[in-house]
């Protein structure tokens, strides 16, 4: 067998793409192929139900090798190693140092320090870095106006310590655009600061000092093509400013770092990072660098907070695990996994340990750090890479033709476009077209928030985030925020309405609709009471009243609602809110009889529950 060169299934004639499609059409039994099987993505292109070798035959993405221009297959040739990063908010330098040492001992290979500008000092940095191995990547964020001072402090510190400056790795997060996008503030002329910072940081060759924080777009709900397209324009704005100020392109490009978010769209995210490297290399190449290595994109990835939740928060670990996996497979340089409790408290030690271990599992048990570009050659992912690249490049060109990223940001066009996408995604959650497990679908019936409340954002200056804003800002409200506010409203009211399932008639339909209704109403924090079934509506209503129900939900089949709904409604007689589960053909007749409330799959769940809260005086 080892010497056999006969192809498997060689006795069968190969099937063509059209034959596969014809078979799918036949199996659909008259249903529309385009509507049933073709996915119309938010990114502006369609995804077919299957792909074949012929679909990637002409793609440029398959021609490159790992570690070679345009780096679509990654910057590395012999492995897929990435850095495990943990971010630390520095409120006390000594405490942050102890926390950093603890993280490194337990697997972190990269640290991110967030320092308020008013705290910055040489003594503080010395305390912060005491005992931390120089092999660990160190990343610093502080107020934009303090970045040059921070650079001076770091260079002086490492020089005094006698460290080999050529080997130190890290970054300073200088990104004035993020101040405009996130806070709506004026950023002034930053070109000279860029130049001064880059020139200073030449003393630390492996330190980056110019950041593109596209993570902010991701956390505001941008679509993947938007995050990438705007990030490219954002980066090009900085690169052009540095070159125009006299910084050689090879120097400028090597000092840049892209910080992306990772959404839960698994395969799309793999494709996004591959496309990002390819497109950035194409942009840098136009500046005619002396070495193609200057065209490499340094990409850090952080799991999104847009889809994180306060309720059923442990589900956040499932979200961040698939997100981290997609970034790892895509070949990013470093990853931050946000702790599952980040939305409602300063992450505790357990949450931070789990976040580190999520990445260590991908390395030590899944071995994703061993294989270069493991997604290469996949008909699906290669096609997605090309499609996302096309959409992002189109957006990049639109921004450039409109005057560049800064001009579009000051005009508010970028914020408006991203906020519109975020609103659309929040609406999709409110209608359950996009599922947040534990929040808008399958909530934990018995969970209460207790003291948990959503964490607000603060300015680096120490304010509460409500600073004066002459420009439009990104709305970084999470997808779950409105549902959480509703459920907290119920909990804080001091009463928990009881929703009683009056199940009757057809066994399969009453059970299905009771389950649907329980999940629907528990999203508002109501207590749900399911039942096995009643022989008559009068018996069911009597049981509901005995249970002191605030809501009675009739669960049966569409055909039987014509028989059961009106008698049940009359038996309740206003003693509780009456709801019919479903949208039966007899709905108009039931409405004419006085029945107002129906819950079904076409409902806007959030708006319906808000209405119910109002009627229940919550």
Is the model's pLDDT at 461 over the cut of 80?
no
How many CB atoms are closer than 10 A to CB 467? Answer: 12
| Distance from chain centroid for Cα 365 | 25
Average pLDDT over residues 412-441: 97
| Positions of CATH 3.20.20.240 in the chain | 78-410
The tens digit of pLDDT for each residue in 549-593 reads 999 999 999 999 999 999 999 999 999 999 999 999 999 999 999
Is residue 278 classed exposed, middle or buried when 0-12, 13-18 and 19+ CB atoms within 10 A define those classes? Answer: buried
Tokens 């395969």, located at residue: 267
Fold classification of 78-410 (topology level):
TIM Barrel (3.20.20)
CA–CA dist 290, 293 (Å, integer): 9
The predicted pLDDT at position 62 comes to 86
Average pLDDT over residues 517-521: 98
Residue 441 DSSP label: B
Fold classification of 495-615 (topology level):
Rossmann fold (3.40.50)
With cut-offs at 50, 70 and 90, classify the pLDDT of residue 468. Answer: low
E strands present in 123-185 = 137-141, 170-174
Q: Which range is least confidently modeled, 13-17, 130-134, 283-287, 437-441?
A: 13-17
Report percent pLDDT > 70 for the chain.
97
With cut-offs at 50, 70 and 90, classify the pLDDT of residue 12. Answer: confident
The tens digit of pLDDT for each residue in 284-323 reads 999 999 999 999 999 999 999 999 999 999 999 999 999 9
| Positions of CATH 3.40.50.280 in the chain | 495-615
Q: Which residues contact 85 (CB under 8 A, 6 or more apart)?
A: 108, 109, 110, 111, 112, 137, 139, 300, 334, 335, 336
Is the model's pLDDT at 376 over the cut of 60?
yes
Average pLDDT over residues 466-487: 91
Average pLDDT over residues 33-45: 94
The predicted pLDDT at position 469 comes to 80
Tokens 């066009």, located at residue: 413
Determine the 3-state secondary structure of 299 from DSSP: strand
Mean of pLDDT over the chain:
95
Average pLDDT over residues 606-617: 98
The predicted pLDDT at position 11 comes to 78
The predicted pLDDT at position 458 comes to 56
Tokens 């509780």, located at residue: 576
Average pLDDT over residues 436-454: 96
Report percent pLDDT > 90 for the chain.
94
Q: Is the alpha carbon torsion for 76, 80, 81, 85 positive or negative?
A: positive
With cut-offs at 50, 70 and 90, classify the pLDDT of residue 466. Answer: low
The tens digit of pLDDT for each residue in 250-294 reads 999 999 999 999 999 999 999 999 999 999 999 999 999 999 999
């Amino acid at each position: 067998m080892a010497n056999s060169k006969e192809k498997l299934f060689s006795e069968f004639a190969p099937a063509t793409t059209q034959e596969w499609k014809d078979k799918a059409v036949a199996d659909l039994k008259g249903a529309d192929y385009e509507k049933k099987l073709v996915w119309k993505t938010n990114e502006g292109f369609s995804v077919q139900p299957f792909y074949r070798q012929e679909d990637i035959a002409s793609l440029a993405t398959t021609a490159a090798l790992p570690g070679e221009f345009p780096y679509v297959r990654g910057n590395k040739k012999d492995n897929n190693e990435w850095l495990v990063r943990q971010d630390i908010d520095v409120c006390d330098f000594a405490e942050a140092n102890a926390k950093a040492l603890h993280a490194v001992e337990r697997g972190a290979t990269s640290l991110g320090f967030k320092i308020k500008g008013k705290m910055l000092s040489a003594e503080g940095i010395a305390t912060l870095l005491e005992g931390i191995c120089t092999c660990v990547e160190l990343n610093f964020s502080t107020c934009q106006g303090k970045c040059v001072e921070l650079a001076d402090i770091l260079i002086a510190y490492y020089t005094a310590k006698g460290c080999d400056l050529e080997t130190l790795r890290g970054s300073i997060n200088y990104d004035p655009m993020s101040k405009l996008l996130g806070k709506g503030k004026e950023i002034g002329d930053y070109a000279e600061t860029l130049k001064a910072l880059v020139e200073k940081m030449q003393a630390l060759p492996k330190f980056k000092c110019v950041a593109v924080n596209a993570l902010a777009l991701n956390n505001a709900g941008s679509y993947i093509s938007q995050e990438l397209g705007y990030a490219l324009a954002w980066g090009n704005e900085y690169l052009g400013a540095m070159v125009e100020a006299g910084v050689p392109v090879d120097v400028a490009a090597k000092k840049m770092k892209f910080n992306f978010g990772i959404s839960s769209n698994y395969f799309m995210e793999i494709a996004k990072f591959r496309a990002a490297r390819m497109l950035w290399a194409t942009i840098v190449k136009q500046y005619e660098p002396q070495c193609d290595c200057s065209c490499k994109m340094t990409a850090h990835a952080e799991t999104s907070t847009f889809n994180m939740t306060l309720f059923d928060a442990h589900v956040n670990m499932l979200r961040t695990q698939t997100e981290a996996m997609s970034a790892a497979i895509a070949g990013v340089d470093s990853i931050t996994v946000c702790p599952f409790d980040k939305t409602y408290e300063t992450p505790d030690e357990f949450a931070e340990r789990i976040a580190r271990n999520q990445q260590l599992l991908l390395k030590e048990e899944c071995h994703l750090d061993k294989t270069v570009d493991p997604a290469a050659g996949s008909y699906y992912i290669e096609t997605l890479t090309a499609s996302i690249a096309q959409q992002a490049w189109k957006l990049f060109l639109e921004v450039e033709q409109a005057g560049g990223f800064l001009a579009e940001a000051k005009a508010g066009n970028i914020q408006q476009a991203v906020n519109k996408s975020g609103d659309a995604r929040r609406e999709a959650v409110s209608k359950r077209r996009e599922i947040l497990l534990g929040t808008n679908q399958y909530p934990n019936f018995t969970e209460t928030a207790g003291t948990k409340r959503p964490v607000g954002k603060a300015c680096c200056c120490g304010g509460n985030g409500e600073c004066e804003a002459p420009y439009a800002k990104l709305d970084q409200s999470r997808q779950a925020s409105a549902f959480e506010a509703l459920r907290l409203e119920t909990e804080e009211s001091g009463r928990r309405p009881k929703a009683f399932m009056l199940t009757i008639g057809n066994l399969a339909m009453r059970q299905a609709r009771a389950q649907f209704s329980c999940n629907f109403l528990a999203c508002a924090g109501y207590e749900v009471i399911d039942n096995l079934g009643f022989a008559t509506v009068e018996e069911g209503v009597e049981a509901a009243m005995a249970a002191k129900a605030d809501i009675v939900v009739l669960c049966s089949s569409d055909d039987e609602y014509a028989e059961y709904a009106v008698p049940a409604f009359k038996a309740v007689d206003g003693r509780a809110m009456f709801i019919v589960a479903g949208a039966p053909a007899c709905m108009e007749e039931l409405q004419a009889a006085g029945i107002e409330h129906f819950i079904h799959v076409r409902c806007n769940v959030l708006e319906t529950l808000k209405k119910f809260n109002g009627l229940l005086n919550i």
